Amino acid sequence: MSVAYKDQLYAELKKQHHHNRTLFEDPEFPATNSSLYFHKPPPGVVQWKRPGEICENPHLFVEGISSHDLNQGIVGNCWFVAACSCLALKPDLWEKVIPDWKEQEWDSNYAGIFHFRFWIFGQWTDVVIDDRLPTINGRLIYCQSKQNNEFWSALLEKAYAKLFGCYESLVGGNTGDAVVDFSGAVAEAIDLQKEKYNEDKKKQDKLFGNLLKVWEHNGIISSSINVSDHLFLQASSVYVSSESLTTSKSYIFFEISQTQEFELESRMDNGLVRGHAYSVTDVKRVSLGHGLQTYFKNETIPLIRLRNPWGDSEWTGAWSDSSEEWSKVGDAERSNLGITVADNGEFWMSFTDWCKNFTDVDICHLMNTSLISIRKNWNEKVHFGKWTRNSDPLLNRCGGCTNHMETFLQNPQYLFDVTKESDEVLTSLQQKDRRIYRKEGQGENLSIGFTIVKVEVNRKYRLHKLETLEIMHGFTYINARTVFKRIELPQGRYVVIPTTYEPFIEGEFMLRIYTDVDNCCRELVKDKPQPKSCTAPCEYPQLVTHIHVYRAEIGQQGDQAEGINPYVIISCEGQSVRSTTKKNTLTPVFEFSAIFYWKKVAEPITVQLWSDDLGSDKFLGEVLLPGMPDDNSSRWYWLKNKGSKKADNMPSIIALRLVTSNELTAL
């Protein structure tokens, strides 16, 4: 299902104009300068022309769709063109983005109207346009196809420009963002230099295996080359760059001259272009050798194929079109790879050279959430939220990062569970695209990130204090549209806190969490238990206690750990939680915590140690904890017999920490 952008319904508008024998003129994106630019006009006199006025026999597609179809125009949006090249390789995707493409082809029903679909902030959005395109001297000035009568790329670009106000709003961007808008994928950015992929062969091998898996699962990959550090400008402690920097790092738009622009998107001696986005069009282990030698030696080399959106300027090093390295590959393998010696912008290079020459890669994962699939399927939870400002600390929801601890926990909080012994958790935080505000000079992304905290196994209310908890991940804040983290987490309960870098900055976000099994992710809204209207004061919780069990040392006759499978049960006023069972150990490490809101302050909290002995549980001792307000103790306790208040110690001890407060929003 999709929603109609600006409430413009394609089928109704086309029927209306076909019936009236008029060509559609879009009032929401008129053929005027306001649709072209907000600051810097194109270099010439612009005339808006329909495809039939530019060439004879116009079509959406000429001989199908290909990554070779399109080339970048004068606007600095190689990031978008690279994404289009990636899109062209995926029929199941481009048929979503270009719906009813056969019906939209030029025929007797032509009415000058087309439509395209984009996945905008979690919703497929149908965008209607007319086909009047900006030209100078009769030639298209923006994205264009190599075939002068093919217009799918130019019309797609116009629809995307309409979403963001004008063509100039597309200057500077991230290829991964456009791919997400084409697909709903989850974008992952990797800094090849920062992560030392250019130096570490083992890391290269692991990355190649991951990219090969992504490619085989229909993922979309792009990469770029960052410019020299001296070309970066610093503003408000956030690094920003000019319009043509299309890396996974963030950037804010600055006006630069054509000369500066050329210097940034400049060719290097090896044919690659700095500050420029490339689409990856294949990832493959290529067999070396000829004839039977190929099978007996079984020698391969990891290669990657890329395309320059300019349609020329190729890599000239090893494994380029006419390099001698191809003599090591048999004719059949070369034919399968489609090697052509032509300056068409597409080229192969070794994966090692790619890691050394490129600085940033965007990986867009098409997450399989289908339950009927032979491929791994992910459990997905999606939440839409807002950073909103309020003078009441309990209602404020834009508290900034952990540099601002007095407000940090005022941010939105989302709880999820890892129910397996260990699970890979993928977290994607995407802010609402602000490019539409560039006309008002406010189109910069917010600096965003998120923190993942391991919390008590029975946590149900919002966090108010971090001291008793373990931070599993803290994000480096960046003003990118999307931030992503892949992390292996042990069994337990967690809270993810999406934030802006500075407090009291408002914005909208989408949080997506993927795990192997259901994670029950939900937003924490309430700060503490809510009394019912008929609840007497004595029946409402008086204290809140956090208890953390670190480890135990089990004493017994002999020192054999075989068959000793300890676990902990914590009980308070009829509520109990149980830790996982540790196998065959006399010194179990639990790192297990719980939180209780309790009414009868005279009754203690009970911590019991048991052993699971082949289904016959064995009691190993307990400790009774009174939990006084402002108690904050961490020590070893001797375990006692069940119900005993005397000093008849069992031969075991347990280390734990107790924090109690009579302020229910203290923990």
Q: Which DSSP category does 150 fall into? A: B
Domain boundary residue among 304, 338, 365? 365
Do both 510 and 582 map to the same domain? no
> Does residue 372 lie within any of the structural domains?
no
Report d(CA 133, CA 32) in Å as an integer.
11
Q: Out of 299-303, 348-352, 537-541, 643-647, which region has the weakest mean confidence (pLDDT)?
A: 643-647
Predicted confidence band of residue 304 (pLDDT cuts 50, 70, 90): very high
**For strand 507-515 and strand 448-455, is the pairing parallel, antiparallel, or unpaired?**
unpaired
Predicted confidence band of residue 121 (pLDDT cuts 50, 70, 90): very high
For residue 493, pLDDT beyond 50: yes
What integer pLDDT is reported at residue 372 of this predicted model?
58
- Digit-coded pLDDT (tens) for 377-430: 889 999 999 999 999 999 999 999 999 999 999 999 999 999 999 999 999 999
> Does residue 181 lie within any of the structural domains?
no
What integer pLDDT is reported at residue 256 of this predicted model?
28
- Is residue 501 within 8 A of residue 448, CB to CB? The reply is yes
> Does residue 318 lie within any of the structural domains?
yes
> Does residue 178 lie within any of the structural domains?
no
**For strand 605-613 and strand 616-625, is the pairing parallel, antiparallel, or unpaired?**
antiparallel
Report d(CA 628, CA 625) in Å as an integer.
9
Q: Out of 397-401, 430-434, 436-440, which region has the weakest mean confidence (pLDDT)?
A: 436-440
Across the range 340-361, mean pLDDT stands at 87
Report d(CA 333, CA 286) in Å as an integer.
8
Instruction: For residue 614, give the CATH number of its domain.
Output: 2.60.40.150
Which residue among 17, 276, 546, 548 is the active-site one? 276
Report d(CA 651, CA 648) in Å as an integer.
10
Q: Out of 16-20, 65-69, 86-90, 377-381, which region has the weakest mean confidence (pLDDT)?
A: 65-69
> Does residue 370 lie within any of the structural domains?
no
Predicted confidence band of residue 249 (pLDDT cuts 50, 70, 90): very low
Record the tokens describing residue 148, joined without a space. Answer: 């002068």
Helix axes 78-88, 175-183, angle to 10 degrees: 40
Closest residue by Cα to residue 151 from 73, 214, 70:
70
What integer pLDDT is reported at residue 55 of this predicted model?
93
What integer pLDDT is reported at residue 233 of this predicted model?
31
Record the tokens describing residue 147, joined without a space. Answer: 């075939």
> Does residue 530 lie within any of the structural domains?
no
Do both 611 and 519 map to the same domain? no
Closest residue by Cα to residue 26 from 113, 142, 125:
113
Structural domain containing residue 104: 3-171
> Does residue 532 lie within any of the structural domains?
no
Report d(CA 446, CA 467) in Å as an integer.
28
Residue indicated by tokens 């867009």: 364
Do both 158 and 68 map to the same domain? yes
The reply to whether 548 belongs to the active site is no
Measured over all CA atoms, what is the biggest interatomic distance in the chain, rounded to whole angstroms? 99
The reply to whether 308 belongs to the active site is yes
What integer pLDDT is reported at residue 533 of this predicted model?
63
Which residue among 68, 71, 78, 445 is the active-site one? 78
Across the range 307-313, mean pLDDT stands at 77
Which residue among 71, 308, 479, 565 is the active-site one? 308
The reply to whether 78 belongs to the active site is yes
Domain boundary residue among 334, 365, 396? 365
Residue partners of 17: CB distance under 8 A and separation at least 6:
23, 24, 111, 112, 113
> Does residue 301 lie within any of the structural domains?
yes
Do both 555 and 636 map to the same domain? yes
